[in-house]
């Protein structure tokens, strides 16, 4: 079963990108590979239930169970030891990825308070886009009455075969609301 944005990409966006960037091979076009949702939890060192609640929030948002991330090295200033639980992340591919992108563009971003558009600086040199949310309640799946604490959330959209310019154009064609350049 194809998602609406996936069909739009294949029927409309890919031919436009092929023409604009003069790419002859369809497989050389920029395409979305995966979406990674991440919550970092410094509070998990003192509050063990924080990990459970973050995992629950990510499960509701993504529709699949996240993995708990652990520290790879010790940082004495933050009282972090190797192997401490410090966050949760989930990687979405295929159907769930397209569904998440559609919901993010059309439902989540318009719900952000004082939203002026996604910054064009949100892209790295390989064309991957990272958007940070100050609270998880902007996602319509989260019931704001059932959360214990507002937590920040980072969404990274990994784009294959791309650079910053191509990725910005790809997301413009998807309808991503970018901030106005003045």
Residue 72 lies in a domain: no
Instruction: Report the pLDDT value the prediction gives residue 146, as an integer from 0 to 100.
Output: 74
Instruction: Report the pLDDT value the prediction gives residue 82, as an integer from 0 to 100.
Output: 77
Instruction: Report the pLDDT value the prediction gives residue 158, as an integer from 0 to 100.
Output: 92
**How many domains does the chain fold into?**
1
Residue 16 lies in a domain: yes
Instruction: Report the pLDDT value the prediction gives residue 126, as an integer from 0 to 100.
Output: 87
DSSP letters spanning 53-122: HHHHHHHHHHSSPPEEEE-SS-BGGGTB-TT-EEEEEEEE-HHHHHHHHHHIIIIIHHHSTT---B-GGG
Confidence (pTM): 0.85
Residue 37 lies in a domain: no
Instruction: Give residue for tokens 């991440």.
Output: 38
Residue 83 lies in a domain: no
pLDDT tens string 149-181: 777 888 899 998 888 888 888 888 888 888 876
Instruction: Give residue for tokens 């901030």.
Output: 179
Residue 150 lies in a domain: yes
For the chain, the farthest-separated pair of C-alpha atoms sits apart, in whole angstroms, at 55
pLDDT tens string 55-75: 888 888 888 898 887 777 777
Residue 77 lies in a domain: no
Instruction: Report the pLDDT value the prediction gives residue 36, as an integer from 0 to 100.
Output: 93
Residue 181 lies in a domain: no
Instruction: Report the pLDDT value the prediction gives residue 107, as an integer from 0 to 100.
Output: 80
Q: Closest by alpha carbon to 74, among 88, 66, 84?
A: 84
Instruction: Report the pLDDT value the prediction gives residue 1, as an integer from 0 to 100.
Output: 46
Domain harbouring 167, CATH code: 3.30.1440.10
> Residue 50, Cα to own-chain centre: how many angstroms?
21
Residues with pLDDT less than 50, the chain: 1
Residue 58 lies in a domain: no
Instruction: Report the pLDDT value the prediction gives residue 138, as an integer from 0 to 100.
Output: 76
> Residue 176, Cα to own-chain centre: how many angstroms?
13
Domain housing 138: 4-26+92-174
């Amino acid at each position: 079963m194809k998602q609406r944005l996936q069909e739009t990409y294949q029927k409309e966006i890919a031919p436009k990108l092929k023409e604009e960037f003069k790419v002859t091979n369809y497989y050389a076009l920029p395409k979305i590979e995966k979406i990674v949702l991440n919550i970092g939890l410094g509070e998990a060192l003192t509050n063990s239930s924080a990990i459970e609640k973050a995992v629950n929030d990510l499960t509701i948002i993504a529709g699949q169970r996240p993995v708990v991330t652990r520290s790879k090295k010790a940082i004495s200033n933050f009282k972090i030891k190797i192997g401490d639980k410090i966050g949760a992340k989930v990687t979405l591919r295929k159907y769930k990825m397209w569904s998440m992108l559609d919901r993010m563009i059309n439902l989540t971003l318009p719900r952000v308070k004082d939203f002026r558009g996604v910054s064009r600086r949100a892209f790295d040199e390989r064309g991957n886009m990272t958007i940070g949310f100050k609270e998880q309640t902007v996602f319509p799946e989260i019931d704001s009455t059932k959360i214990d604490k507002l937590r920040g959330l980072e969404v990274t959209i990994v784009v294959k075969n791309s650079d910053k310019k191509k990725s910005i154009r790809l997301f413009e064609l998807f309808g991503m609301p970018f901030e106005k350049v003045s």
